[in-house]
Every structure is written in C-alpha cells, then in structure tokens.
C-alpha cells in the first residue's frame, strides 16, 4: 500500500511540474528575462511597489529578475533537456542494444566495448568532453547528456533481448514463419520495452541532474536562459546574503528528480504482468 501511495504522489508531482513547464507563459507572473532596476536580491514576499515593480513572491535574483518566473521557465528547460536527452539515448541505445542482443557475435563485441569505454569515463567528465567538442549550448547539452546515459540503454536492451530471444515463444514465432520484422516488433518488442520505460524515467532524472551539473560549470545552457543548474550556480556566490537564490532551485531539482525515481520504481512493479491482478 505504501508503495502504491508513493507511486501516485510522485506521479502527481511530476504531472504538476510538467503542466507548469508547459503552461509557463500563462502562469509565470513576470517575464523571466525582465530586469527590475533597484530590485536586486529582494527577499521573498517583500519589496512590493518600489519603482512600479511587482511583488516578488519568491524574491528576485542578483540582477533583479523575478525568481518564481525564472523557476517556472527553468522547469521548461530542465525537463526538456531531461526528456530530449532520454529520447536521444532511448532511440539510439535501444537500437544498438537490439542489434547486439539479437545478433551477438562480433557486432555485439565491438559495440559493447565502445559502451564500456563510455562507461569508464566519469559521467560529468564525459559530458564536459562532449560539450568541449561541440561547444556549449542547449542542444549540445542535450546531446552530451544523452551520450552519458547511452550505455545504460544499450545494456538494458541487450540483456532483455538476450534473455527473451531464447525463450520458446520466440522460437515458436520463427517456426510460424515470422520474419525478422515480425519477430522483433510483434514478438520481442512488447517484452523488451517495459524495463526500457523504467530505465527511461530514471534516465530523465539523471539527465536533469547532469544538465544541471553542466549548467553549474557554465558549460550547459548559457545565461540568461533560465535553467535550474545555471540558477544554482549563479546563486552560489550569494549563499550568505540571499539564501533563496540557491535553496529554491535546489528544492525544485531535488523534488523533481526524487519523484521521477520513485515513479520509475513504481512503474517497474506495475509493468510486470504477473504482478497485475488476475481478472
């Protein structure tokens, strides 16, 4: 029961974050790029009315921008990086894993050794490497973060395919005259994707974290783009004078990542057909 509750709560939080990200232009009280002069580092819920500036519900940052609006738009960017980088590694990693698992042999050997190479480099370092080659930008952050999680997708897919392809039902499909396309898409795919989906939800959170790390190092999204990692890094220097500049993006990041992980765990249990209730 507790497990179920956690699954629903985390799902709810994720849904809220996604909705906020989508509806950012509608709900953000201010333009995230607008600088209010003389309103630098206003504490939350104060500083209303001076020079015609609005109330900063969550305070303002060191340049006088509304923190709440920046957090809302930041959700957009952070989630997008997480989702797109996951999509990137899901598609490429899934395909490579399928090839490795189904055919094996020397193709498998070469691809897996490449993946081992990627795995042997610390993830942040690898991301920095990719960004250093491609140059810092939002798109390149996505690619860099995607490359970091690639080996995990390849491994999960490959293991699952190898595990399933020897089972009788796959043999049965082949004896029924099923060609390669049928065996891969109709027979194997439904049995391979559930763990991939779980891996994907976990990978979104990793992606957000990695992107934040890149942003923190100044290699991710470039200012003035609002992104949680960048905001965290910018606020760091004001930790003692303006706590909210670090704390609030940090909490957003933490909550989203935590919920994605909990959701992924719950999904794993849910997708097991044997755990589903018999009718």
Residues forming the site for other proteins (CB under 8 A): 167-169, 171-179, 182, 186-187, 190-191, 273-274, 278-279
Q: How far is the CB of 152 from other proteins (least distance, A)?
A: 23
Q: How far is the CB of 179 from other proteins (least distance, A)?
A: 8
> What is the residue whose two structure tokens read 């610390």?
122
Q: How far is the CB of 90 from other proteins (least distance, A)?
A: 19
Q: How far is the CB of 114 from other proteins (least distance, A)?
A: 24
Contacts of 165 (CB under 8 A, 6+ apart): 101, 102, 188
Could you tell me which of 224, 212, 211, 196 has the C-alpha nearest to residue 35?
Answer: 224
Q: How far is the CB of 244 from other proteins (least distance, A)?
A: 45
Q: How far is the CB of 172 from other proteins (least distance, A)?
A: 5
Task: Considering the complex, state which of residue 55 and residue 171 has its C-beta at the smaller distance from other proteins.
Answer: 171
Task: Considering the complex, state which of residue 52 and residue 179 has its C-beta at the smaller distance from other proteins.
Answer: 179
Give the Cα separation of 248 and 58 in Å (integer). Answer: 8
Could you give the dihedral angle defined by the CA atoms of residues 236, 237, 243 and 247, in that order, rounded to the nearest 10 degrees?
A: -10
What are the CA-CA distances from residue 87 to residues 23, 60, 82, 106 (Å)?
Answer: 22, 34, 9, 27
Give the Cα separation of 242 and 216 in Å (integer). Answer: 18
Task: Considering the complex, state which of residue 171 and residue 237 has its C-beta at the smaller distance from other proteins.
Answer: 171
Q: How far is the CB of 189 from other proteins (least distance, A)?
A: 9
What are the CA-CA distances from residue 57 to residues 18, 47, 182, 224 (Å)?
Answer: 21, 10, 56, 20
At residue 56, the 3 state secondary structure works out as: strand
Task: Considering the complex, state which of residue 113 and residue 279 has its C-beta at the smaller distance from other proteins.
Answer: 279
| Cα of 54 vs its chain's centroid, Å | 33
Task: Considering the complex, state which of residue 26 and residue 275 has its C-beta at the smaller distance from other proteins.
Answer: 275
Task: Considering the complex, state which of residue 167 and residue 236 has its C-beta at the smaller distance from other proteins.
Answer: 167
Alpha-carbon Rg for the chain, nearest whole angstrom, is: 22
Task: Considering the complex, state which of residue 175 and residue 241 has its C-beta at the smaller distance from other proteins.
Answer: 175
DSSP for 235-264, written as a single string: HHTTTTT-THHHHHHHHHHHHHHHHHHHHH
């Amino acid at each position: 029961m507790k497990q179920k509750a956690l699954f629903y709560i985390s799902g709810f939080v994720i849904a809220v974050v996604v909705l906020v990200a989508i509806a950012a232009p509608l709900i953000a009280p201010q333009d995230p790029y607008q600088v209010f002069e003389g309103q630098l580092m206003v504490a939350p819920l104060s500083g209303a009315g001076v020079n015609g500036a609005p109330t900063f519900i969550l305070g303002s940052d060191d340049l006088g921008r509304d923190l709440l609006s920046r957090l809302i738009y930041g959700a957009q960017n952070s989630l997008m990086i997480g989702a797109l980088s996951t999509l990137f590694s899901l598609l490429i990693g899934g395909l490579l894993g399928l090839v490795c698992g189904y055919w094996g042999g020397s193709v498998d050997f070469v691809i897996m050794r490449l993946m081992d190479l990627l795995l042997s480099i610390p993830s942040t370092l690898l991301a920095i490497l990719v960004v250093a080659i491609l140059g810092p930008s939002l798109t390149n952050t996505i690619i860099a973060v995607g490359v970091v999680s690639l080996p995990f997708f390849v491994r999960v897919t490959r293991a699952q395919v190898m595990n399933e392809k020897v089972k009788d039902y796959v043999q049965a499909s082949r004896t029924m005259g099923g060609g390669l396309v049928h065996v891969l898409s109709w027979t194997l795919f439904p049995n391979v994707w559930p763990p991939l989906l779980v891996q994907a939800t976990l990978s979104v959170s990793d992606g957000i974290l990695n992107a934040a790390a890149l942003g923190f190092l100044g290699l991710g999204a470039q200012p003035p783009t609002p992104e949680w990692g960048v905001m965290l890094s910018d606020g760091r220097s004001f930790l003692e004078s303006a706590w909210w500049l670090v704390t609030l993006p940090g909490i957003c990041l933490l909550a989203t990542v935590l919920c994605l992980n909990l959701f992924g765990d719950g999904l794993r249990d849910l997708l097991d057909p044997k755990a589903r209730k018999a009718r």
